[in-house]
Structure 1
């Protein structure tokens, strides 16, 4: 990759139900992200972290009308609106925006900024579908809603800061789903999105699945956003996440997946933006999940064994 990578920290935990994920950007940096990217031959500039008040200082239920049971929706709007601008500015300057979360709701801002001047495909590495809305979410946690928000589902269709019209369902590919609400399962089946579960990876192998996901995300789009939730990886390998689910990607499957993305990007320049989310140092063991996040990010930018 010839573009400079701009690292943007988004230490938000408004969208999660467990504290600590706000320290994720610091943990990933401390785990050696810049060194890993340098080893991959990538030049970086660190823009620091977006500033935001602590959750304890805010009322989770002080929401706009019709917000359902969504928590901290005003705060999520503020952060994602500012992040959206930073991502768009990075792209305008010819840089690659790499956003470090924070919980997965920050992807609303990342995808919004990345799609401002482009039709955007999405590859969603995650155990969860993140397709709930404020009206359907059983928990009210917005980190389970970012794809619904970006696609303008439910209330989000009325919210300019959330809905990104240039992200279309048919250009969204899930990779590695294994924990889906019953309502989300029906929504996926009724939608134009493509979903590859862990069973697909078991049956066909990670390389074949990622190749198919890339085909979906690059069809009639100007570029691809890669969203990497660390709970996609099996919790034995990535224990420091808020919503662990057994049976996730192995260490080698995860690296192979991001290496495959990188090979396509090196050839075709397809990847436009990336976020890495849900690292929770409080729940981690010797910063292993943050180290994995740094290593997987480097794989996405071309780092290889040889």
Structure 2
């Protein structure tokens, strides 16, 4: 039997809109454990990583990065938990929380692979740094930190850097990129499928190319799925919605193709914000996509 461990990360410190800290609870409430057990997994819920309360976090006047120390501390705890799960030969499924949690997730995962691949399913590139970020919100920086670019407190989580090579990354669904991110994508040769490519090529072709691109040069692939990658019509409960996103059905197809490829060795689903949601719709969508990723079949 396949073994899977759920790790909740109620992080809302990587941005300023409150409520995303309740994401793990909303996803559990939407039936994630039962859904995955019905596919045939042995599921262990490790509970939530301890996160500092936003009201008690003091800003560091030496940086424009919001809540830097608190985010770094939580990332270290998450990295260790994720690493322990993999050591125990279980699949880590991380529930966010805002996307800054990926800094910790990737620090824990990458320790176990020589050539980790990353699929970044997101409306945003999350490739900002203190110099390029318009806001100072760390949830816009996790991919930059993971390739070794940014503040040392973020890039050196787990005691090493980088966590992933730029050529081992595929961004899918991008439609809101800052100028600094566009420059970094070109400079580092990061593969990106924007909504333009998805519309022109179709999701089947995008996923076929992604799987082919990563299969031979990686020894594990992490999926980092931000619910704002989907169109807000299908996933309204996110902090930074961008219209014109990937559809619910296209997302299921993408997850089903990843399941068939057997490439994915770890995953996280982030940015579910129940306060902004409609009757827990976004958490329910997240759970359905997890089912498809983990091999759920219609027949």
- The TM-score bracket by the shorter chain reads over 0.9
Query: Which of 92, 96, 102 pairs up with 1:101?
Result: 96
Contact 2:148 2:163 (8 Å CA) reproduced: no
More deviation, 14-23/216-225: 216-225
Q: How many residues align?
A: 297
| Aligned counterparts of 1:22 and 1:247: Cα–Cα separation in 2 | 26
Q: 1:133 to 1:14 in 2, by over 3 A?
A: same
Give the structure 1 partner of residue 40 of structure 2: 41
Contact 2:155 2:161 (8 Å CA) reproduced: no
Contact 1:175 1:213 (8 Å CA) reproduced: no
| Aligned counterparts of 2:233 and 2:123: Cα–Cα separation in 1 | 14
Structure 1 runs (4+) deviating above 6 angstroms are: none
Give the structure 2 partner of residue 187 of structure 1: 184
Q: 1:21 to 1:100 in 2, by over 3 A?
A: same
Task: Report the Cα offset of residue 217 of structure 1.
Answer: 2.8
Q: Mind listing any 5+ residue stretches in structure 1 that lack a counterpart? A: none
Q: 1:203 to 1:112 in 2, by over 3 A?
A: same
- 1:283 and 2:276 correspond: yes
Contact 1:127 1:232 (8 Å CA) reproduced: yes
- 1:110 and 2:105 correspond: yes
Contact 2:72 2:153 (8 Å CA) reproduced: no
Give the structure 1 partner of residue 140 of structure 2: 144
Deviation readout 1:135-170 (Å, 9 max, x if unpaired): 211100000000000011133498421764241000
Coordinate RMSD, CA, aligned? 1.5
TM-score by length of 1: 0.93
Q: How does 1:1-306 map to 2 (within 5 A)?
A: 2-59=1-58, 61-62=59-60, 65=62, 67=63, 69-118=64-113, 119-156=115-152, 159-161=155-157, 164-265=161-262, 270-306=263-299
Deviation readout 1:223-258 (Å, 9 max, x if unpaired): 000001000000011000000000011110011011
Task: Report the Cα offset of residue 272 of structure 1.
Answer: 1.6
| Aligned counterparts of 1:42 and 1:158: Cα–Cα separation in 2 | 33
TM-score by length of 2: 0.96
Task: Report the Cα offset of residue 27 of structure 1.
Answer: 0.1
